[in-house]
Amino acid sequence: MIEITLKDGSKKSFEKGTTILDIAKSISEGLARAALAGEVDGEVKDLNTPINKDCQLNLLTFDSEGGKHTYWHTTSHIMAQAVKRLFPNVKLAIGPAIENGFYYDFDIDKPFTPDDLKVIEEEMKKIIKENLPIERFILSREEALKLMKDEPYKIELINELPEDAEISFYKQGDFTDLCAGPHLPSTGMVKAVKLVQQAGAYWRGNENNKMLQRIYGISFPKASQLEEYLKMIEEAEKRDHRRLGKELGLFSFDEEVGPGLVLWHPKGARVRMRIEDFWRQEHIKNGYDIVYTPHIGRGKLWETSGHLGFYKESMYSAMDVDGQDFYAKPMNCPFHIAIYNSRLHSYRDLPLRWAELGTVYRYEKSGVLHGLLRVRGFTQDDAHLFCAPDQMPAEIRRVLRFCLYMLNSFGFENYKIYLSTKPKEKYVGDESMWEAATNALKEAVLAEGLECDIDEGGGAFYGPKIDIKIKDALNREWQCSTIQFDFNEPERFDLTYVAPDGTRQRPYMIHRALLGSIERFFGVLLEHYAGAFPVWLAPVQARILPILESHHEYANQIAEKLRLHDVYVEVDTRNEKIGYKIREVQMDKVPYMLVIGDKEMESGTVSVRSRKDGDIGSMPVDEFVSRIVEEIKTHAR
């Protein structure tokens, strides 16, 4: 007999060789119907996998990440089978599950068309209806190569596997694919499917390789879930920051300037300035000092930091300056360390909190550039904390509270926290410092009454970290904030401080970003609010619409009064009908429009229309000024 420990901590005994599915059935038939895979000692397995030893078992449904991954990975194989049936000469590449759905890459003579996708989708539905059993089997390397003799991309993958690797395949009807799994027991378990996009993709992401054809898709256990998802996608397209940025005149890109390099237009720059001004003010309130550092540094600096050894492919090529290599900075941390090392520090100086809106440059392949969300030049809202061991736990709590305050201020109140660490054999630095840092991160999250998902193997080699993913208006997750310990660079740059006993000690160094990059955060904000920024962030906070030319002077007087209170205001003096002007204000998503006619001039009032509250009616000018200034001051949403 073997003993199975379930997710709730309960234990059950089973005959050796009992499958995960049979264990699920022993608990309840409902759970067995909903189960898609099983997590055995942290590794996701097929439901048909027999259990031969004591283990911890978590049964995965579609609500779990592992369950979705299994469901979508199976659907990618169904799509590949459909494509093979319809286009027998196609060559298979890879077909993984991704964050939202799946894709498969194919080598085919001509790109797929939208009509092709419709036909493939119908063939997929036939395969689902056939309810084909999905069977896993193992082959030797020789047998595997023989089976895949007509699939060059699979041959390449097999040849790259370690000598002792288990080479597994999955078969469903007339289709067999090289795959590590896991998969569903049968194709019939997939219920609702939709192919959403076709794109080109280089084999293995290398632009020197052949361009393949990639098809993206999504699937769900219920048709209603698919319908809801497609509505969300439609709404997401309306909110696409690239489209809104162009329509609202916020930013642009220019091929002559260079791909991935943002040109901020006046209106976009206003929003960015509001974000950055608030950022600086709040950092000063929270005990940070602001620093500025260069955009380039000598090669020796990047050798010491390790960037040239581990990160060179993401750095721009060297510039020859007086016979020495200089590099555009990909990160700010070596410069902050240089400031730290400019003099000897005592424990009395600590903690030090240094923040910078530092522009960095990273080479990203052209195929992954995506508006403001993936660029080559961006400004990090960076900070580095240097503290003594006894100060470190309090600093972590302080920075976590600050982080959540900043996110809440911009309207992000739903988020998920992830704690990532690493087993001791895979990290650098002192074991006791790693343990203390990891515990401090956990305790900070718990102390704030929050929960976090723990990824025991997902941390960087140089230190444990917390990542905070915010949820936007469409419930999409975005990675923005991070709190990251670094035990690597303090060693490389020999950071020390003088402890109370006179000895030289190593400080804790903490990387920290609250918003991530300003560009990415701006793009997320733009999509979250669908371009309708709250008043305090809006590029134009009020627009005054005089009805006749005789009202222009009064309109300009009101505008001057608002500008004295730092309100961004425009006066529309064009010879257009008032209805046309009102529609333009609505299209430009301006929070307030002030209509001026004879009545308003005579009474010293303005007729106020709010984007949020509709027609408010007439009010004295000073009353409106007080209203909008208060909304800006309090960051009303």
Q: Do 403 and 477 fall into the same domain? A: yes
pTM of the predicted structure, to 2 decimals:
0.84
Q: How far is the C-alpha of 215 from the C-alpha of 200, rounded, in Å?
A: 9
384 is catalytic: yes
State the catalytic residue, choosing from 183, 362, 376, 422: 362
Q: What is the pLDDT of residue 625?
A: 96
State the catalytic residue, choosing from 81, 198, 213, 380: 380
179 is catalytic: no
Q: How far is the C-alpha of 268 from the C-alpha of 251, rounded, in Å?
A: 6
Write down which residue in 173, 205, 238 finishes a domain.
238
State the CATH number of the domain containing residue 18: 3.10.20.30
Write down which residue in 476, 506, 528 finishes a domain.
528
Query: Does residue 303 belong to any structural domain of this protein?
Result: no
Retrieve residue 299's tokens.
Answer: 């090669």
Question: Which residues lie below 8 Å from residue 153, measured CB to CB, with a gap of 6+?
Answer: 91, 92, 93, 94, 107, 203
Query: Does residue 310 belong to any structural domain of this protein?
Result: no
Q: Do 165 and 268 fall into the same domain? A: no
Helix (H) or strand (E) holding 43: strand 43-45
**Across all residues in the chain, what is the average pLDDT?**
93
Cα–Cα nearest to 50, from 38, 32, 62: 38
Q: Do 267 and 138 fall into the same domain? A: no
Write down which residue in 238, 265, 283 finishes a domain.
238
∠169-175-181 over CA atoms, to 5°?
A: 35
307 is catalytic: no
SS3 label, residue 258: coil
265 is catalytic: no
Query: Does residue 428 belong to any structural domain of this protein?
Result: yes
State the CATH number of the domain containing residue 188: 3.30.980.10
Q: How far is the C-alpha of 47 from the C-alpha of 50, rounded, in Å?
A: 8
266-272's contacts with Cβ under 8 Å and 24+ in sequence apart are 266/539, 267/539, 267/540, 268/522, 268/539, 270/539, 270/568, 271/522, 271/525, 271/533, 271/537, 271/538, 271/539, 272/518, 272/522
State the catalytic residue, choosing from 68, 183, 283, 511: 511
Q: Do 18 and 102 fall into the same domain? A: no
Q: Do 279 and 420 fall into the same domain? A: yes
State the CATH number of the domain containing residue 624: 3.40.50.800
Question: Which residues lie below 8 Å from residue 65, measured CB to CB, with a gap of 6+?
Answer: none
Q: Give the residue ranges of DSSP H helices in 60-106.
A: 65-86
382 is catalytic: yes
Q: Residue 312 carries which side chain, given as an amino acid letter? A: K
Q: What is the pLDDT of residue 426?
A: 53
State the CATH number of the domain containing residue 475: 3.30.930.10
Q: Do 173 and 259 fall into the same domain? A: no
Query: Does residue 450 belong to any structural domain of this protein?
Result: yes
Q: What is the pLDDT of residue 457?
A: 60
Read off the pLDDT of residues 559-612 as tens digits, 9 standing for 90 and up.
999 999 999 999 999 999 999 999 999 999 999 999 999 999 999 999 999 999
State the catalytic residue, choosing from 69, 465, 506, 589: 465
Query: Does residue 308 belong to any structural domain of this protein?
Result: no
Q: Do 38 and 70 fall into the same domain? A: no
511 is catalytic: yes
Query: Does residue 145 belong to any structural domain of this protein?
Result: yes
State the catalytic residue, choosing from 283, 307, 333, 403: 333
Read off the pLDDT of residues 141-185 as tens digits, 9 standing for 90 and up.
999 999 999 999 999 999 999 998 999 999 999 999 999 999 999
Q: What is the pLDDT of residue 600?
A: 93
State the catalytic residue, choosing from 69, 272, 307, 384: 384
Q: What is the pLDDT of residue 131?
A: 97
Q: Do 56 and 71 fall into the same domain? A: no
Enclosing domain of residue 14: 2-61
Low-confidence spans in the chain with pLDDT less than 50: none
Query: Does residue 564 belong to any structural domain of this protein?
Result: yes
**Residue 552 near residue 502 (C-beta atoms within 8 A):** no
State the catalytic residue, choosing from 116, 177, 381, 382: 382
* DSSP string over 441-486: HHHHHHHTT--EEEETT-SBTTB-EEEEEEE-TT--EEEEEEEEE-
Q: What is the pLDDT of residue 461?
A: 65
List 113's β-bridge partners, or say none.
none
- The total domain count for the chain is 4
Q: Do 268 and 395 fall into the same domain? A: yes
Q: Do 206 and 134 fall into the same domain? A: yes
Q: Do 486 and 565 fall into the same domain? A: no
Query: Does residue 313 belong to any structural domain of this protein?
Result: no
**Residue 392 near residue 433 (C-beta atoms within 8 A):** no
Q: Do 109 and 140 fall into the same domain? A: yes
